[in-house]
């Protein structure tokens, strides 16, 4: 068992509780890690023995393109979609950061972190 992670992914998306956020969009950073069995990939040097992180990236990209009010909702959708596509995934952790959130003060980013197991 081990971890496969994608870190520092950046997307421009239209998430936000306020109507203005949904219209103008914002920059987001996503970090995503899954735990899975990958001994076959380690021992035999074959892609079929692990979770293909290129496909993981596409799942995240697709879900980030769907506007949502809450980052918690986006993160949950991403995890659920990866669980559906990859039954071998045991757990997942996602961090989604919104740059310059509307807090009426100085704040570089707001972040939600979600961990789910099955």
Q: Please give the average pLDDT of every successive group of 10 residues along the chain, which has 118 residues.
A: 96 96 96 95 91 97 98 98 96 98 95 97
Helices (H), 50-99: 53-64, 71-85
Collapsing DSSP to helix, strand or coil, 98 comes out as strand
Tell me which residue has tokens 């380690």: 42
- Please write the tens of the pLDDT for every residue from 37-63: 998 988 999 999 999 999 999 999 999
């Amino acid at each position: 068992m081990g971890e496969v992670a994608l870190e520092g992914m950046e997307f421009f998306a239209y998430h936000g509780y306020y109507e203005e956020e949904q219209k103008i969009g914002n920059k987001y950073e996503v970090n995503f890690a899954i735990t899975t069995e990958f001994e076959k990939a380690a021992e035999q040097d074959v892609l079929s023995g692990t979770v293909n992180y290129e496909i993981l990236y596409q799942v995240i990209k697709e879900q980030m393109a769907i506007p949502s009010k809450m980052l918690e909702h986006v993160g949950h959708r991403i995890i659920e979609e990866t669980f559906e596509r990859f039954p071998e995934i045991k757990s997942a952790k996602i961090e989604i950061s919104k740059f310059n959130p509307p807090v009426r003060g100085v704040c570089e980013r707001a972040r939600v972190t979600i961990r789910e197991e099955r």
